[in-house]
Structure formats: structure tokens, C-alpha cells
Structure 1
Amino acid sequence: MLSILDPHSVYIERDDSERIQEEFAGKFQGIGIQFSIIQDTITVITAISGGPSDQLGIRSGDRIISINDSNAVGFTNEDVIRRLRGEKGTTVDVEILRPRSNTPVRFTIERDNIPITTIDTHYMLDERTGYIKVNRFAATTHEEFISSVRELKRMGMDRLMLDLRGNPGGYLSQAIAISEEFFPRNTKLVSTESRHIRFNQEMHSRRDGLLKDMPVIVLVNEGSASASEIVSGAIQDHDRGLVVGRRTFGKGLVQQQYELIDGSNIRVTISRYLTPSGRVIQKPFDSGSENYAFEIRHRSSDATMDAKEFKDQVPDSLHYATKAGRPIYGGGGIIPDFIIQEDTTSSPYLFNFMLVNRVDAQFVRSYLDENGERFRDRWKDDFQDFRNNFEWSDKDRALFLTLMKEHGMELTGDVDEPTIKNDTLKLSREMYNELVWMNLGRMKADLARQVWGNEYFYPVINDYFNESLSEAMKLWDEVEQLKLYAKQQAEKRSSR
């Protein structure tokens, strides 16, 4: 029945409803670990700080071999979640085998509320620039955001890089709350428009925002949708900062969820949202749900060409202007003020082969099993030193090469480019040497995650793979120019 409506009106099964509600509530009830299944064994990646497992001393590298006296080797991710999650106050018994130990350790863990953070990381890019990466908009996002901002301000931040790439959206209220922080009181942030008058709203900032005078750049891409487009749309429409990256997804519909008697839910579109200029962000969906979902795959791989092709087909009715008069367009996401191409100069075959076969997880785990104490003695107290100076040794690189070969990689002079056939990756030694830096960088980031925690993964990964971030950092003069231009245009309007 819902399939005849828009692509975002859906039926949600009971089990899925519970999981989704946990994600957007910003917490779940369990023992508080991030884990991975490595060689059929549940391996602790990190114990969530302050959670029940962390308080008992469970740490990265511990293998969970039994749960409630049942053998846990061979469990799937779903099996683990089903057995370790549970109501706050209940207990679960686990047996853990530690690296270089043959004697299991038994823990009785009392489940508790475990936060699900929506800020992946925040840190200083340089002496002036703070960086915040938001992965979705859930119930706690604004609270997390303010906490990150205040900490960065204490560290000297006077300009902000807000990363919304790959952020699919979430709660409208949280998008509004974060948008509000960038504007003075009574600034229009977003409006909603519906066939039913009760869903028509116009939202303005209720106070001066904490960041109302701070220069800002917002990073977006084709994975930025819905609430991400509300925030970036408000920034762009008011000429408040620069939106940088690639054209966003184009989801401008608002849903409301209704619970059914069996615990399942239906999520129904009730309105569409408009950015402050009146711009409609929603892309067309009259060609069916499948074409709608995969539309981003059909966009030109050249982000500049994609933007040009989109502008050329936008009807006059979807042409808008920012507050200062800059042209902007509706009907298919947000076109950034500055477009940055996706970096496709390096072949992804070696990197993807590692991820698919989980060689990275096996390698990092083996490395810490053998070198964990020495590593922590040398690096644990100075993450920045690790970030700047740690390198894999020749012995480490040789082990990685051995693991890749064990999983089906073959070095041969018979191919001109990397080739995959029957789960075997073939490439020359020269190609391997040219491409392996990506694998080593990813594993260094994984190592940081396991030793310091999830938020430390991103500074390292950004050091290796973030060409968009590097290019955006060159645009602060343009941010200042936009501010001056907007001020001049405002003065012209007031003098008329």
C-alpha cells in the first residue's frame, strides 16, 4: 500500500523499529563494547568509555569465547547483539581469553544505558580551525555538538569546519537546533509545507547562536541528505558561510512515525521542507523507488559536470537567490558554493580487497597481540606523536603482504592493471608498492581506534584520505570575502 506513495513512506517491522528507535534515542542497553568477528571469534575493538565493560577492565583485544556458559565461537554479529544486549540492571556472564594467555577470565557484567554518539570526532585541524564530524541527527546531537564546540573553543578555535558528508539526516528538531547556533535571534531557518495546514510551520532562531559570528565551512557530498541539507541550506541561503564538496542527495520530505498495535511502525510523509529562500530540495521520485534510490549512481563522476548538467535542466520556477543575491537552485539537492572532485586517482582494488577479506582487522589484532604492551609504553600518552611519527616496520609490512597472499592476492607480471577473478586479486609488484600506502594508512587509523577509542580513528584517516578537507582548508579567504559581500548587499538594501 505504501509503495504507491513517496519513497520515504515505509512500513517498519517490529524488530527493525526497536533498533531504529535505539539509534535515534542516542542510547541502547547493553554491556558497552564495540566488537568485530575475527576468525570466528568475538574480538573487543574497544570498551565504550565509562560503560559496564570499561569499568570491569575489559579491553581492546579481549576475545569473548562464551556467553552465559554457551560457546560463542562462530557467532554472527546478530547472535552477539541478541545475547549481549538486554534491559538495564540485568546481568550476562562472559568468558574472555586475553592475548598471550591460555586461561579464560570470567566476568559478570551488569547491563546499563550505553550512549550512541552522533559526533564521530572533534579536534583542531590547526591552531585556529576546529573540525566536527556529525554522522546523523538523533536526540542527543545538539547536546553533543555544543559540548564539542565548547571544548574546541577552549583549545583556541575561532573558525569551524563542519563535516556533514555521508550524513543521511534524522530529526528535524535537531537540524533546527544546530542551525540556530550559527545565526542571530529571529533568523528564518526552515519552513515546512503540507496539504494539511496543521503541518505548515516556519521555524526561526529563538536566540543568538553560540557560533553566530564564527566563520564556517560545511562539507557535503551525495550522501548528505534531509537534516544535513536543512543545515547546509540555511548556511548557504543566508550567505553565512561556504558549502563545499559535491551535490547533496536531495531529500526534502518530512516524515512522521506511527506505532501499530504489534510494535511495528509506519512512517508517512506529512510535508516537504523549504530552505529560508523558499527553495525546494526534494529531487523527483516519479520514476519509481529503485530509480530514486540509485539516482546518485547515475550522476556524472565529474562533480563540476554534474552540477552543470543539473543547473541546465532546472526550470525557472526552481531558480532562487540567497539573501545577498547569489543564484541557487532547487529540485535536486544543494549545489555547493565550491565543488571539490572526489579523489579517484588511485586504484581502489588493493584497498577494497583488504576490507572485503578483513585483512586489516586480522593484521591490527595480530600486531597488538604481539606488540601491545611495547606499543602502549611508547605511544599511549601522546596520540599526536603517534599521528605524526608512527610508521609500520619492514617486518609489519612483510606480515601484511603474507596475509594478503593467504587471502588470495597474487603478485604477477602478467597483468597491466589490478584484476579480480574468482576471488583472486592479481597485480604486479610495482602496482602493489604504488598502492599499499592506502592500506597502511587505514590500518594505522584502525590501530588508533583500538588503542585510544573511535574518535581517534578520524584524525588519522583524514591525514591520509581527505583531499576534500585539504582543499576546503584553502577557502577561508573566500569565507571572509563572502561575509564582506553579504554585508555590502545588506547595506545597499537598507539604503534604498
Structure 2
Amino acid sequence: MRKKVLFPFIVIACIVALSFTKPADRYFEIAKNLDIFATLFKEVNALYVDEVNPNKLIRTGIDAMLGSLDPYTNYIAEDEVEDYRTVNTGQYGGIGAITREIGGKTIVTMIMDGYGAQKGGLKIGDEVLEIDGVQLSKLSREESGQLMKGQVGTPVTLTIKRYGSEQPIKLQFKREKIKVHNVPYSGMLSNDIAYIQLSDFTPDAGKEVRNSLIALKEKGAKGVILDLRGNPGGLLIEAVNISNIFIPKGKLVVSTKGKIPENNLSYETLNAPVDTEIPVAVLINRGSASASEIVAGTLQDYDRGVVLGERSYGKGLVQVSRPLSYNSQLKVTTAKYYTPTGRCIQVLDYAHRRDDGSVASIPDSIKRSFKTSTGRTVYDGGGIEPDIKVEAVEASALTQVLFEKGFLFDFATQYVYKNPEVVDPKTFSLSDEGYQQFVTWMKGKDYSYKSYLEHELEELTGEAKKEKYYGEIKNQLEQVKTRIAENKKNELMLYKNQVKMLLEEEIIARFHLEKGSVEAGFKYDNEVKKAIEVLHDTQQYKKVLNIQ
């Protein structure tokens, strides 16, 4: 209990201290509060009734302090720096295998094309039992992940269990430099429409998109879909480089404004573009954030492309990394960024928290309007609003449970071993007979869950009992409960299209890895279908962008 009271007090003291305007007063308050913190910690460590872990206690204090600012200002301890570097560079030493814990087992869920795991015979669906003789069952998920990675050039031995094989198999690999591509897939969706999926903004993102577009134009592309859905962002300079592919040299892409003048910067395009005329459709959703929003916002402000999908996440804050002692790092928010028209798309106002510490969205009443190059009205303070809204199909609770518990994955593994003939990712469709096999296979398996409606019914029942109305409406509530239970028995058929899509993606991934999985989803993708329609309809495209 003392721990919970202790650190909020320190955070409040530090915030009050930093509100002083005179430098001398400010530095004195900082020194004073650091001294209070040190002496307080010393006393707690010496006197607290139970033994305390100094590292854990200090980390709690640091995280609580930074958490009072925003979710993006973080402390990275020395043992976390390598993972942080991997996220920011897309590079690490390993074999090119992605694993996930399913039912308490470490299962290979994806093999990266061209790396050691693929060349050494590892397969999707293999269960990893040991790494260099160390049993994974005795390790945490984080510890097993660290064992898989390592210094480039060092050997690693995996003991795996494979479907259909009675004895464990030992496979040897040599770790190599793994580069996670920013563009996991690019290709032609039709004779004239290109598609580029951008999943990250790590180094070379701009180069990968540029090279993809050039190659696709050589194949006859007359329009391009740039898919930023689910892209959390990354390096700001790569957002500038990607925007530069479609807009001329010397154009403003993004500006940043912070507390100190050094953070007030403007970023313009520096290179000749690839194509300033080809029609562009940018796909965004609620998972498109930061650098993704810079690209989408820039192309929207210049009326260079039609933005489709859902409103983006709304992260308009810039972070930089600063080295700390003992090889640790601080990732700290230093500025807000603004699109070419001057929009800051930050949704949450962390500078003005409520009394309970919660954060509110910027109210519509104070959002400002801006004009694009052709005079269209756009707004700040709410992410990037698409030019054409296309509601994404929400995954049902059933499909989420089937995925999380690994049932879709396990069935796909068995299906492929029983049906080893390679399938075409663009034409393969799981037959009704194949789907019925899945339904039969699921019988007796526990995939129970509570739907949103069931949670609401429970709350309603509870409220009815509190208000003494339960006796009067008990029969009606029981009827609803029974009806829901009956419907859930048929959910595998009710949500057949969703489940079938995920099964097809899993099956195709066994033959064609990530690229095949992406291709398998196109025929179900309403946003992609709408983008193709808009790019083919020149009049609609120009009308949306207000091009005369």
C-alpha cells in the first residue's frame, strides 16, 4: 500500500517543481526532489516490513513517472535495448522463424522467405521442444525468444516435434542478419492496378516502396494501392521518403514543433519523385498511426491520392531516443508534428488530464479546419479522416477465440499434411466439404466464450435484481439466454465466411509463406475492392479530390 502512495507523490512533486519558470529555481527544485527521492528510497529499503527488490521498485517509480506524461515516453533498460533496436531497425541476429505460444507450446507460425529457417528445413506447424538442449517448457516466452536470437554467425540447434513424426527431429542452423521487410508484399491485383503493403517505417522503407512501384509500373501499373492499415509508424524521415515517391522535390511533408527551438523543424522532399501523376489510393484504419498518418495526411493535403477506409489512430507526437547510464535508454516525446496544411492530428490531449488522471479526446468544438491544394476541407485533432469511408468487417468473438486458441492453425497444419498438393494462392478456395471437415473436427473441443450480448444480458440481470424487477422479467431473460445458446450452436456456420477466410490464409501460408497469405485475403477485402473501383473510375477519382 505504501508503494502505491509513494510514487504518485514523487511524480506530483516533480511536476510542481518543473512548473517554475526561472532556470535557477527550476534546477534547485529538480535537485531537491532527486535528493528527496534518494533519501526516501533509502529509508523504504531499510525499514519496509518485507524485503524489497531495488530494481523492481525503482522501475515501478520510473514507469509511473513517465506514464503520467504519455504512453510513448518510455524507459528502456539495458536488457531491453536489443528488442527496442530490433523494432526500430527491423534487424536482428536469428534464423528467420516466427513463433507463438499455442496451448502452452511454442509453435512455428511463420517462416521468413530466404533465411536459415527455410533453408534448414524448419516448417510452419513445427513445435519447438528445445533450443541448444534447453527445454522450452522450463522457460518463459521472453527467455525462449532470447535463446532463438543471437550473434550473427553463431550456430543454434532446434529440437522439434513435427506433425506425423513419432520421434523428435534435430535441426541445425547458423544465425544470420535478419531484415524484416517494410514491404512484405507487392504485386498486381489486375492488369493495371498495383498493390503495395507497407507494414513498418524502419530504415529503407522509402527505398522498398520506391523499388516496388518502379517494378510494378514496368508490369503495366496505371494505378496503385498503398496499404497502410495496421501500420503503427516508425521513422519520420522514412515517411518523408515515401511521400517523396508521389510528390515533387522541394515540397513540405511534415513540420515539428516542441518546447525547445531545436525541435522546431521542417522536412521537405529532397529527391525527384517516381510518379506525380499515377492515381493513388491509400488504405488506412484505426491501426494506422504516426508515420502512416504523415504519409496519408500529406497525400491528402496535396490531393495526391484518395484516402479510403476508417479514421486513423491519431498519434501526432514525435519521439527521440536518448542514451542513459548503464547502457539504458530513454524514448521521450519532444514535439508534435503537423501535416503540410498545418494540421496536428493528435487525438488525445495528454497535457490536460482529468482529475482522475484519465485523458480526453480533443473536443470537436475546438478542432480547426484547413484547406487542401484543391480547396477541400480537412480537420485537425482527430486522426486522418478518410475521403471515402469503408467500414471494416469486425472479427466475430468466435473467430477471435478460434484464432487465439490455435484451432484454425492446428486444423490447417493437419489439412496440409493430408493434402500436400501445392495450391495457387489466388484461386484456392476451401471447399464446402473441406469446411465441413473442420466443423466435424471441432466437435468436442472447448472453444466456449461469452459474447458481447451475453455480457450485456448478465449486466441487465444484475441490475434487474438490484432494482427488484428480476421476478417480473425472469422468464423473458431466460428466453433470451436460451435463444443465444441455440444460436451459438450454429455459429461455425453463421460465421462461415470469416472462419473460411482465415483457414484459407493459414493453409496457403504453408505453401507460399507470408506473401501467399496476403494474396489469399484479397477476395474478401472490401477496402481493396473499393480502392480498385475508385482507381478504375477516373471521374469518381477526380470528383473526390476536387480535380477539375
Task: Report the TM-score range of the alignment, normalised by the length of the smaller protein.
Answer: 0.7 to 0.9
Q: 1:251 to 1:290 in 2, by over 3 A?
A: farther
Q: Which structure 1 segments of 5+ residues have no match?
A: 296-309, 420-425, 489-496
Partner of 2:376: 326
Closer, same or farther: CA 34–471 of 1 in aligned 2, 3 Å: same
- Aligned twin of 1:127: 191
Can you give the 5+ residue segments of structure 2 that lack an aligned partner in the other structure? 1-64, 450-478
Alignment match, 1:437: 497
Of 175, 178, 193, 1:114 maps to 178
Does residue 313 of the first structure (1) align with residue 313 of the second (2)?
Answer: no
Q: Kindly provide the amino acid, as one letter, of the partner of residue 269 in structure 2.
A: S
Out of 142, 148, 159, the residue aligned to residue 206 of structure 2 is 142
The runs of at least 4 aligned residues of structure 1 exceeding 6 Å deviation read: none
Write out per-residue CA displacement over residues 41-92 of structure 1, whole angstroms, 9 at most, x where no aligned residue: 4333343222122222333343433322233457653243122111111111
Quickly say closer, same or farther: Cα 1:343–1:429, change in 2 above 3 A.
same
Q: Measure the CA separation in 1 of the matches of 2:192 and 2:366.
A: 39
Contact 2:108 2:125 (8 Å CA) reproduced: yes
Q: Secondary structure at 2:419's aligned position in 1?
A: helix
* Map of 2:297 onto structure 1: 233
The code of the aligned residue for 2:344 comes to V
1:154 corresponds in structure 2 to 218
Task: State how far apart, in whole Å, the 2-side matches of 1:418 and 1:358 are.
Answer: 25
How far apart are the structure 1 equivalents of 2:70 and 2:265? Answer: 21
Q: Deviations over 1:407-451 (max 9, x none)?
A: 2459xx9966656xxxxxx63554432212211210110111222
Instruction: Note closer, same or farther for the CA distance 1:408–1:180 as it changes in structure 2 (3 Å cut).
Output: closer
Partner of 1:391: 430
- Is the Cα–Cα contact under 8 Å of residues 435 and 500 in structure 2 kept in the other structure? no
Structure 1 window deviating more from structure 2 (4-13 vs 252-261): it is: 4-13
Distance 1:188 1:158 in 2: 26
Structure 1's 339 and 62: CA in aligned 2 closer, same or farther, altered over 3 A? closer
Matching residue of 2:542? 481
Contact 2:108–2:124 under 8 Å retained in 1 = yes
Superposition map of 1:425-464 within 5 A: 427-464=487-524
Q: 1:469 aligns with which of 525, 528, 531?
A: 528
Residue 287 (structure 1) aligned with residue 353 (structure 2): yes
Amino acid of the residue matched to residue 196 of structure 1?
I
* Structure 1 residue 19 corresponds to structure 2 residue 83: yes
Within the alignment, does 1:406 sit opposite 2:466 as a pair?
A: no
Conservation of the 8 A alpha-carbon contact between 2:374 and 2:545: no
SS in 2 for 1:108: strand
Percent of matched pairs sharing the same residue: 27
Q: 1:111 to 1:328 in 2, by over 3 A?
A: same
What letter matches 2:531 in structure 1? Answer: A
Decide whether the 8 Å contact of 1:37 with 1:76 is kept in 2: no
CA distance in 2, matches of 1:462, 1:418: 32
2:251 — aligned with what? 187
| Residues 201-238 of structure 1: per-residue CA shift (max 9 Å, x gap) | 22222232113221101111222211111111110111
| Structure 1 residues 11 and 399: CA distance shift in structure 2, 3 A | same
Pairwise mapping of residues 3-402 of structure 1 onto structure 2 (< 5 A)?
3-73=67-137, 77-283=141-347, 284-285=349-350, 286-287=352-353, 291-292=358-359, 313-315=365-367, 318-343=368-393, 348-372=396-420, 375-376=421-422, 379=423, 382-384=424-426, 388-392=427-431, 394=433, 397-402=436-441
Q: Is the 8 A contact 1:216 1:242 kept in 2?
A: yes
8 Å Cα contact 1:415/1:428 also seen in 2: no
* Secondary structure, counterpart of 2:220 in structure 1: coil
| Contact 1:241–1:482 under 8 Å retained in 2 | no
User: In 1, distance between residues paired with 2:321 and 2:206?
Assistant: 21
Q: How many positions carry a matched residue from both structures? A: 450
Q: Deviations over 1:103-147 (max 9, x none)?
A: 443333211111112223222222111111212211132222223
After superposition, give the CA deviation of every residue in 1:381-430 in whole Å (9 maximum; x if it has no partner): x433xxx24324526523444325312459xx9966656xxxxxx63554
Deviation at 1:240, TM superposition (A): 1.0
**TM-score (normalised: structure 2):** 0.75
Deviations 1:333-367 (A, max 9, x none): 122222222335xx813212212322111111122
Question: Could you say which residue in structure 1 is the equivalent of 2:461?
Answer: none
> Contact 1:45–1:450 at 8 Å: present in 2 too?
no
- Tell me the distance in 2 between the aligned counterparts of 1:404 and 1:291: 45
Q: SS state of the match for residue 147, structure 2?
A: helix
Equivalents in 2 of 1:460, 1:128: separation in Å? Answer: 19
Alignment-mate amino acid for residue 367 of structure 1: Y
**Structure 2 SS opposite 1:402:** helix
> How far apart, in 1, do the equivalents of 2:483 and 2:522 lie?
27
SS at match of 1:109: strand
Secondary structure of residue in 2 paired with 1:460:
helix
Aligned counterparts of 1:210 and 1:408: Cα–Cα separation in 2: 50
TM-score (norm 1): 0.82
Q: Deviations over 1:261-298 (max 9, x none)?
A: 22322122222211111122222222369744x96xxx
Contact 1:242 1:479 in 2 (8 A): no
- Rounded to whole Å, the distance in 1 between the matches of 2:490 and 2:167 is 45
Q: Distance in 2 between matches of 1:63 and 1:12?
A: 31
Q: Which amino acid counterpart does residue 348 of structure 1 have in structure 2?
A: S
Q: Counterparts of 1:180 and 1:314 in 2: how far apart (Å)? A: 32
Note if contact 2:102-2:405 (Cα within 8 Å) is conserved in structure 1.
Answer: no
Greater strand share, 1 or 2? Answer: 1
Q: Distance in 1 between matches of 2:545 and 2:93?
A: 50
Distance in 2, matches of 1:417 and 1:264, equals 56
What secondary structure is seen at the aligned counterpart in 1 of 2:444? helix
8 A Cα contact 2:305 2:545, kept in partner: no
Structure number with greater Rg is: 2
The residue number in structure 1 matching 2:32 is none
Whether the 8 Å CA contact 2:402–2:447 is kept in 1: the answer is no
Greater CA deviation, 169-178 or 130-139? 130-139
Q: Is the partner of 1:406 in helix, strand or coil?
A: coil
What is the Cα-based RMSD across aligned positions, in Å?
2.8
Pair 400,433 (structure 1): closer, same or farther in 2 beyond 3 Å = closer
What secondary structure does 2:325 align onto?
Answer: coil
SS of residue matched to 1:208: coil
- Structure 1 139/417 Cα, relative in aligned 2: closer, same or farther at 3 Å? farther
CA distance in 2, matches of 1:274, 1:473: 30
- Secondary structure of the 1:383 match is coil
